[in-house]
Structure 1
Amino acid sequence: MTPSLEGAPNDSQYGARPKFWFAVYQLLWHLLLPFAFIRLAWRARHSAQYLSHLPERLAFGYKKPIKQGAIWIHAVSVGETRAAQPLIDVYLERGESILLTHMTLNGRRTGASLFGKAIASGQIRQVYLPYDLCWAVAKFIRIFKPKFGLFMETEAWPTVVFDCAEKGLPLFLVNARLSERSARRVNRFGKAGRALFQAFAGILAQTEFDAQRYRSLGVRQVEIVGNLKFDVPLDPNLVVQGQSWKHEIHQGGRLMVCAASTRDGEEEVILKAWRDLLLSNTFKVSPVLCLVPRHPERFSEVANQIHDMGFRFQRRSEWNVSPQYGADIQVILGDSMGEMPMYYSAADLVVMGGSLLPFGGQNLIEACAAGCPVLLGEHTYNFQQAAIDAIQIGAAKRISGELLLTEPIALMEALKELLSHPEELERMATAAKIYTSAHQGATQKILAALEHQNFTLN
């Protein structure tokens, strides 16, 4: 069933395009467009693929025949693409065609990895979403003529949203989340900011927190459906590899901590805490740290940090297939993409990146799904409800963020406490699996809401 726009924002006082501010927005986009391409060229230093499919950024260069009437799913980068997997899998099983768009190279790479067969068969068409220019967006919609659109999590490009509303193309924000900080930013723009979210045909929010924030912006079509990330399956091959690695680590009498999806500045905090932990001589056999930066372009930078702090370390990229490192190795640099299920399945404890410094936190759900306990910093607003629930059920613990900014004593003490009590780690691991299992089901709720337009009207 195709969602309709009955009672949608463009049929009411809500979601009207703010003409003055929109004109200013378009002017800024045209002025900044050269810098967008310069930025891509700069990033191409790390990978020439940043310059691949460049015309698509302006809705040109589509070489393959265009199949119209597909379901359009926009997943800006890696996390959103992975989150969309359960939804995309259902649509593929139903024989639907998918137009899958991204904004980042890593998002496109992830989509190609997850849906390679469907892309090869033509059931999925993968392209970049064009920059948010009126003429580029209009051309994109005219060429592809999607059946309806699903934007993942936080993506709300004004030109796309208003154009879809005015053209009668149903566009939904799914797995939607909105932090308090983001809601305040939207409100600073007054009616113009609120109109953007009011112009969606509907918003399917992760939690009551998110739903209330959207409603505070005047959005009427809001429903709480849960978080799709709980439905994302872990790659079984990577899980098996990780479990095998964990068995080898334990045979050597060691434990492993995975610092996952770390952001700029957090590696220094973690490495200082790890140095202090090893110097404390708490363990008969020293544990090993697996440090996995979120962005691949920072792998070399982080490797230099590890080296400069005097750790004996090895890169994941130096292995052939299975782990190959000596017993004297203190740190492993996880310089690989798409292998987080392996790292989580091998670890006894995860320190969740993005939460130690004010980045909002990364996805703790995947770690819990692998049965791995989680240590969180103070900054988890991107996963507010998920963090609260994980802590309440005992799958995660929170450490003080204030001390982390000066001396990482709190992190070091938390690591020492948990690694010294394997029975507590085992209890947390069991709680982690219960936690993820209990929160599954968002995929079916989203499908039901889209098919029946069962939104809560306020």
Structure 2
Amino acid sequence: MNRTLYSTLWWLAMPAVLGRLWWRGRKEPGYRKHWDERLALGGPVAGERPTIMVHAVSVGETRASEPLVDALLLAWPDSRILLTHMTPTGRATGRDLFAHHGERVVQAYLPYDTGAMTARFLRRHRPRVCILMETEVWPNLIHACMRQGVPIVLANARLSERSLKRGRKAGAVMAEAARSFTLVAAQTDADAQRIASLGAPNVVVTGSVKFDIVPPPPALEKGAWLRARIDGAARRPVFLCASTREGEEALILDAWQRADKPAGALLLLVPRHPQRFDEVAQLVQARGMRLARRSQLDENAGAIDADVLLGDSMGEMFAYYAACDCAYIGGSLLPLGGQNLIEACALGKPVLVGEHTFNFLDATCDAVADGAAVRVRDADALVAEAARLLRDDAARAVMGAKALAFAGRHRGATLRTVELVQRLFG
């Protein structure tokens, strides 16, 4: 596929793309807002400050961008950040994370990658540099950046073996995009080798900026408040299942009901996608388990009298980690690729993962090798290992200390990335 065919396919698919956007808005109204931005017909305008564009497609990339955005604003005090997204949950996460920066961080949806739209978007905002987070390779955006003289950085870059195969199937369009990167700051040696094999000319291993994320004190305070509501008059063991995906919750709930677990143990279940909160609540209730919902707890709430607490809120993952005793990182019991385990390790929590972690393979394997995480084969093994940790305070403390050490040992990627970006401007 070349870029002309790629662009043609985008235009042919546009009615279906917009229809799907409207359809998704039934459950998530944010998809029906800011359509002018998605078509490069509106949104914020270029201000007097020089603009640094950072594209963070959804929640995970937006949270990962936090230390980088903060460092960029510090390095260029006269600039602003244009933070772009593709999902309303990513946009909401960015609004919460960066509200304290005021007008120095503005947000918009990145237009669809048709060529004309992305070129118009860049002319409107005139970014000094375009920074794409992790895996966000948009051929027409990259081509438009080249034509307008905007350096392109792929930051915190990762590429799994599965994604590499898809990239090679894309042919010329992906090879052209890879060759056009001014700089690739890769998470690991393996990521760097895979990205370079697509033709990227300037690939440097910097590590993952996610290790540089600092748990915000308000989130820790909220976690302590939530834990007090869970414990009530007597401490209850808490097993968190974080960022779970479709199909996993049913497996976990059934295993939890079968398991020999500590008395009073609470299952804290946090689905990754907010549109599934009600669906997961129904799964809990269909099994006759007592359910409490985070969204229904106010500041004056008493003790939580439930078997399962549903984390149906946005932007509180650090609070959930702070409130738990050990955590499973979702998306790994089924072949979905897993999620980021670094935040849990940064809070010194023992981590459990399934066998399917190909999206975060190196970090997960390193955590397992360091004793910060344990890999399990299925839901029953997951719950059995969680029950063991919940009973054994000493084992949990040792594993938690190893998790903290693992997180601390890999910090520094943000500074290395910003130094590389600074070199682009002499």
- Normalization by structure 1: what TM-score? 0.88
| Distance in structure 1 (CA, Å) of the matches to 2:300 and 2:312 | 14
Does residue 87 (structure 1) correspond to residue 68 (structure 2)? The answer is yes
Does residue 309 (structure 1) correspond to residue 273 (structure 2)? The answer is no
Contact kept, 8 Å, 2:139 with 2:174, in 1: the verdict is no
| 1:44 to partner: Cα distance | 1.8
Does residue 363 (structure 1) correspond to residue 340 (structure 2)? The answer is yes
**Secondary structure of 2:127 counterpart:** coil
Aligned to 1:352: 329
1:380 to 348, 357, 363: 357
**Secondary structure of 1:147 counterpart:** strand
Does residue 179 (structure 1) correspond to residue 179 (structure 2)? The answer is no
| Distance in structure 2 (CA, Å) of the matches to 1:55 and 1:201 | 30
Aligned to 1:439: 410
| 1:145 to partner: Cα distance | 1.1
Does residue 450 (structure 1) correspond to residue 426 (structure 2)? The answer is no
| Distance in structure 2 (CA, Å) of the matches to 1:249 and 1:104 | 32
Deviates more, 1:57-66 or 1:170-179: 57-66
> How many residues are paired up?
422
| 1:271 to partner: Cα distance | 0.6
Does residue 230 (structure 1) correspond to residue 211 (structure 2)? The answer is yes
Does residue 267 (structure 1) correspond to residue 249 (structure 2)? The answer is yes
Does residue 97 (structure 1) correspond to residue 92 (structure 2)? The answer is no
2:187 to 183, 187, 206: 206
| Distance in structure 2 (CA, Å) of the matches to 1:372 and 1:180 | 29
Contact kept, 8 Å, 1:67 with 1:144, in 2: the verdict is no
Contact kept, 8 Å, 2:229 with 2:304, in 1: the verdict is no
Aligned to 1:257: 239
Output the amino acid matched with 1:431: K
Distance 1:128 1:248, change over 3 A: closer
Output the amino acid matched with 1:275: Q
Output the amino acid matched with 2:29: A
Contact kept, 8 Å, 1:69 with 1:144, in 2: the verdict is no
Aligned to 1:75: 56
Distance 1:27 1:217, change over 3 A: same
Does residue 40 (structure 1) correspond to residue 10 (structure 2)? The answer is no
1:161 to 120, 130, 142: 142
| Distance in structure 1 (CA, Å) of the matches to 2:113 and 2:278 | 33
| Distance in structure 2 (CA, Å) of the matches to 1:102 and 1:322 | 35
| Equivalent runs, 1:293-332 vs 2, <5 Å | 293-321=271-299, 324-327=302-305, 329-332=306-309
Does residue 287 (structure 1) correspond to residue 287 (structure 2)? The answer is no
| 1:323 to partner: Cα distance | 5.7
| Distance in structure 1 (CA, Å) of the matches to 2:186 and 2:25 | 36
| Distance in structure 2 (CA, Å) of the matches to 1:158 and 1:394 | 40
Output the amino acid matched with 2:374: K
Deviations along 1:317-363, whole A, 9 cap, x unmatched? 11102664444x11000000011111101100101101111111111
Aligned to 1:16: none
| Structure 2 unaligned residues grouped into runs of 5+ | none
| Distance in structure 2 (CA, Å) of the matches to 1:376 and 1:155 | 25
| Distance in structure 1 (CA, Å) of the matches to 2:389 and 2:300 | 27
| Equivalent runs, 1:99-138 vs 2, <5 Å | 99-119=82-102, 122-138=103-119
| 1:84 to partner: Cα distance | 1.0
Aligned to 1:276: 258
Deviations along 1:281-303, whole A, 9 cap, x unmatched? x53x2310000000100000000
| 1:66 to partner: Cα distance | 4.1
| 1:453 to partner: Cα distance | 5.2
**Secondary structure of 1:35 counterpart:** helix
| 1:388 to partner: Cα distance | 1.4
| Distance in structure 2 (CA, Å) of the matches to 1:444 and 1:369 | 18
Contact kept, 8 Å, 1:249 with 1:255, in 2: the verdict is no
Aligned to 2:178: 197
| Distance in structure 2 (CA, Å) of the matches to 1:324 and 1:340 | 21
Contact kept, 8 Å, 2:370 with 2:406, in 1: the verdict is yes
Aligned to 1:150: 131
| 1:129 to partner: Cα distance | 0.7
Deviates more, 1:224-233 or 1:186-195: 186-195
Output the amino acid matched with 1:224: V
| 1:192 to partner: Cα distance | 3.6
| 1:436 to partner: Cα distance | 1.1
| 1:451 to partner: Cα distance | 1.8
Distance 1:74 1:387, change over 3 A: same
Deviations along 1:362-420, whole A, 9 cap, x unmatched? 111011111111100011122112111211221110001xxx3xxx3322322232223
**Secondary structure of 2:84 counterpart:** strand
Distance 1:235 1:287, change over 3 A: same
Distance 1:48 1:189, change over 3 A: closer
Aligned to 2:382: 411
Distance 1:340 1:25, change over 3 A: same
**Secondary structure of 1:115 counterpart:** helix
| Distance in structure 2 (CA, Å) of the matches to 1:26 and 1:371 | 47
Contact kept, 8 Å, 2:159 with 2:191, in 1: the verdict is yes
Distance 1:416 1:49, change over 3 A: closer
Identity score, percent: 42
Contact kept, 8 Å, 1:230 with 1:440, in 2: the verdict is yes
Cα-Cα RMSD = 1.9
Contact kept, 8 Å, 1:66 with 1:143, in 2: the verdict is no
| Distance in structure 1 (CA, Å) of the matches to 2:49 and 2:235 | 58
Aligned to 2:37: 56
Point out 4+ residue stretches in structure 1 off by more than 6 angstroms.
none
| Distance in structure 2 (CA, Å) of the matches to 1:68 and 1:326 | 49
Output the amino acid matched with 1:70: T
| Structure 1 unaligned residues grouped into runs of 5+ | 1-19
Deviates more, 1:257-266 or 1:207-216: 207-216
Aligned to 1:422: 393
Distance 1:323 1:206, change over 3 A: farther
